[in-house]
Amino acid sequence: MVKWIGLLQGAAALAGCGATGNEQVQPGTRPEVQAATAVPEPIAEKTAEPCGAVIEWVDFLMIDDIKYYQNYDGTKEVSAEQKGDKVGEVSYMLNEHACTNHVTQNGDAAFLPIGTEIYALKGYTPEFRVVAGGKIYEVKDNPKAATMEELFDIKGKVQKVSLESGMDGSLIGDFSEAASEAFIRELLPLPYFGFDKVYEQARFETGVFLRVTLQDGTSFRMIYYPKANAFTAGAFGTETLKELIMTQRAQIKAAAGL
């Protein structure tokens, strides 16, 4: 039996929710689970275990070819009144059932039991956010999206953009109102390429932590890489957007004495 230790690259650096900004993912692996090191153990002649692996899964689900990660640090438990129409249900729970070679399919979820119903979240398109098990799951990858506006249903819904610490994720300061508006205006038309394309350019770079707070009080993290001029959400920025981010970052850090 070979024992694998799965690394959480998770909703964190890869989805923009709770990362350090320095995580690196081995090429060819899926961000929801990554086998890191193999530690050989004596091979038993017989074993009842279906998978000789110990895996830590990111809390994700997949429906309609869209992969979602739980937004654990920018949302709260969802009330019944916030649920929209049913959009699917879980048909397979990976935790303690799937092995490292499992290919993610529609209906898969890391920790939600089979039969868990998945709902739209009122106020947002289901391509951006859904609700399952009382938790909000936010898009990580949508192969049908052509732009960031099609990926993130946030147009007209943003309250502010903020700068966070790359060390502990704490708030450093907010963009000015004008800069927040300009950030969203520049971000949404960007072509959506997906994480893999960005990873090719930014895998060895330390990112700038940004948080986008929406008008309903929820938020999500975005990580921006200046040298690659790219976001882990799956887009490459314009020069105007790069200048805006770096200028606001410098001003906020100076005001905070950093």
Q: What is the pLDDT of residue 18?
A: 35
Q: What is the pLDDT of residue 33?
A: 56
When comparing pLDDT for 227 and 38, which is higher?
Answer: 227
d(CA 130, CA 86): 9
d(CA 78, CA 168): 26
Mean pLDDT along residues 1-21: 35
| CA-wise closest residue to 176 among 102, 248, 258 | 248
- Confidence check: pLDDT of 41 > 60: no
| CA-wise closest residue to 21 among 212, 252, 204 | 204
- The per-residue DSSP string of 75-126 comes to --PPPGGGEEEEEEE--EE-TTT--TTPPP-TTEESSSPTT-EEEEETTS-T
Name the percent of the chain in helix, strand, coil, to the closest 5: 20, 30, 50
d(CA 250, CA 208): 11
pLDDT-based confidence at residue 128 (cuts at 50, 70, 90): very high
- Confidence check: pLDDT of 8 > 80: no
- Confidence check: pLDDT of 6 > 70: no
CA–CA distances in Å: residue 203 to residues 3, 110, 121, 198, 223: 27, 25, 33, 8, 12
Mean pLDDT along residues 193-214: 95
CA–CA distances in Å: residue 92 to residues 4, 85, 224: 21, 21, 34
Where b means 16+ CB within 10 Å and e means fewer, 110-144 reads bbbeeebebbbbeebebbbbbbbbebbbbbbbbee
d(CA 96, CA 54): 8
d(CA 143, CA 164): 29
DSSP, collapsed to helix, strand or coil, labels residue 212 as strand
Show the tokens assigned to 185: 């205006």
CA dihedral over 14, 17, 19, 21, signed as positive or negative: positive
When comparing pLDDT for 219 and 23, which is higher?
Answer: 219
Any bridge partners for residue 108, and if so which? 92
Instruction: Tell me the average pLDDT of the chain.
Output: 85
Percentage of residues of the chain with pLDDT beyond 90? 74
pTM of the entire predicted model: 0.81
- Confidence check: pLDDT of 9 > 80: no
Give the relative orientation of helices 177-187 and 239-255 as an angle to the nearest 10 degrees: 150
Percentage of residues of the chain with pLDDT beyond 70? 80
